[in-house]
Amino acid sequence: MAITLWDLTGAEADRRFSPYCWRIKLALRHKGLEYATIPWRLIDKGVIAFSGQGKVPVIKDGETVVSDSWTIANYLEDTYPDRPSLFGGEGGRATGRFVVDWAELALMAGIFPMIAADINGILDAETQAYFRSTRETFLGRTLEAAQAERETRMESFRRGLVPLRRMLKFQPFISGAAAGWHDYAAFSVFQWARCASPLQLLAADDPVHAWRERMLDLFDGFARKAVGFPV
Amino acid sequence: MAITLWDLTGAEADRRFSPYCWRIKLALRHKGLEYATIPWRLIDKGVIAFSGQGKVPVIKDGETVVSDSWTIANYLEDTYPDRPSLFGGEGGRATGRFVVDWAELALMAGIFPMIAADINGILDAETQAYFRSTRETFLGRTLEAAQAERETRMESFRRGLVPLRRMLKFQPFISGAAAGWHDYAAFSVFQWARCASPLQLLAADDPVHAWRERMLDLFDGFARKAVGFPV
């Protein structure tokens, strides 16, 4: 029986932009597990109340409900040990957590202000009101004011990619010779950005750009084919 | 036969302050391998010319010479597979490289200007001339001018520790339940700082401080007993 994934969507039902859902969709493909998605909006808290919390991703696998992308990744690795490993052993699992937290600071926190108004632009009107209210409180200014600073923020963002850029001199993926959880955790943030915004985050000659291209090509171009902006 | 390690030293022969050597000394203890160190100064390039390059760590294991801390770590893991694993599998090895590069940017580059003059202070006069010349070119200002900015740099440095701090909510070490290469790669930078400078880099209530305490306790307090400043 296929796994069900509640997957964040914009005004268009096929614009699936959550980085946390993207890393799980890629993890499910990595494991070769069948799944079906249910589009879910930020304001549809009641729909996923059965999970005991209010955020996606949520998966239902048979009678088992799991939420939080890190918890889901560990669930998939432990429940389907005969499928290709997401982590590549216990050291990879442990550092999988570190990469999640690095992606949160260096990627998410860096990119969010630069595309805050663009994200709002892909939402339906009802969700926009919720998004604007909660995110402007978080940012301490309007979405448009935050996004207007993108030129001055870009250099610092790209400098923060140094660990990723340097690592790519040694190997094609963070997880090593082939992509794995560490790559999905980081790439999903770039995929979130391209689903929501035309902003070009990476210079064409950046090794991080070449890595992102490899990630877009995985699973027969799965992420590249998704509704989003060209990068 | 014991492994020989050329180990960076200050004016006092026992003040061994290189982060790259520290991560190897910890890796050698992790593997339970006997080793002897030879103190080496930054200007003693000729002494390690046999290694084909001019930086420590350099190890000699029988007739095998290996330099560069990442290369040495891989050599130890592959040459002594029956000893405790440094990486915890191939995923841990791959992300071992990522943590090295993260430590370089978030830790080394953040700390160096704050302790540049203090490092100079632990060197002998001959090495000081070399250090000042090369490092002031790198910094674009005097060692003292760089260090004078430490108060204004500290907040940004501590904010950059967020990935480490958040990860520590989930597990006691970066490598997981027990310390491994990822911890040695990151901790070695804090150990470098405390060997050279009395600057307090971490607030006492920071979870990163508690992790550093655990690292100082490893191997019967090996790093804590080293010549350095209290933290």
Cβ contact (<8 Å) for B88 and A92? yes
Is A108 strand, coil or helix?
A: helix
Looking at CA atoms only, how far is residue A180 from chain B in angstroms? Answer: 8
Q: Are B56 and B48 spatial neighbours (Cβ–Cβ below 8 Å)?
A: yes
Nearest C-alpha in B relative to A98:
B167
A chain contacts of residue B92, beta-carbon cutoff 8 Å: 88-92, 94-95
Q: Characterize B126-145 residue by residue with b for buried, 16 or more Cβ atoms within 10 angstroms of its Cβ, and e for exposed.
A: ebbeebbeebbeeeeeebee
* SS3 sequence of B64-125: EEEECHHHHHHHHHHHCCCCCCCCCCHHHHHHHHHHHHHHHHHHHHHHHHHHHHHHHHCCCH
Cβ contact (<8 Å) for B174 and A94? yes
Nearest C-alpha in A relative to B85:
A91
Nearest C-alpha in B relative to A86:
B91
How many other C-beta atoms can be found within 10 angstroms of the C-beta atom of residue B82? Answer: 6
Residue among A88, A98, A173 whose CB faces B99 most closely: A98
Q: Are A192 and B118 spatial neighbours (Cβ–Cβ below 8 Å)?
A: no
Residue among A101, A105, A180 whose CB faces B91 most closely: A180
Question: What is the 8-class DSSP label of residue B228?
Answer: S
Q: What is the pLDDT along chain B (231 residues), one digit of tens a residue?
A: 799 999 999 999 999 999 999 999 999 999 999 999 999 999 999 999 999 999 999 999 999 999 999 999 999 999 999 999 999 999 999 999 999 999 999 999 999 999 999 999 999 999 999 999 999 999 999 999 999 999 999 999 999 999 999 999 999 999 999 999 999 999 999 999 999 999 999 999 999 999 999 999 999 999 999 999 998
Contacts across the A-B interface (CB distance below 8 Å): 127
A194: nearest Cα among A152, A141, A140, A230 = A230
Distance, CA of A31 to CA of B104 (rounded, Å): 33
Per-residue pLDDT reduced to its tens digit, A187-198: 999 999 999 999
Nearest C-alpha in A relative to B162:
A105
ipTM, 2 decimals?
0.94
* A contact test, residue of B85, B87, B90 with most A CBs within 10 A: B90
Residue among A95, A105, A160 whose CB faces B99 most closely: A95
Residue among A70, A166, A182 whose CB faces B95 most closely: A182
Distance, CA of A68 to CA of A80 (rounded, Å): 18
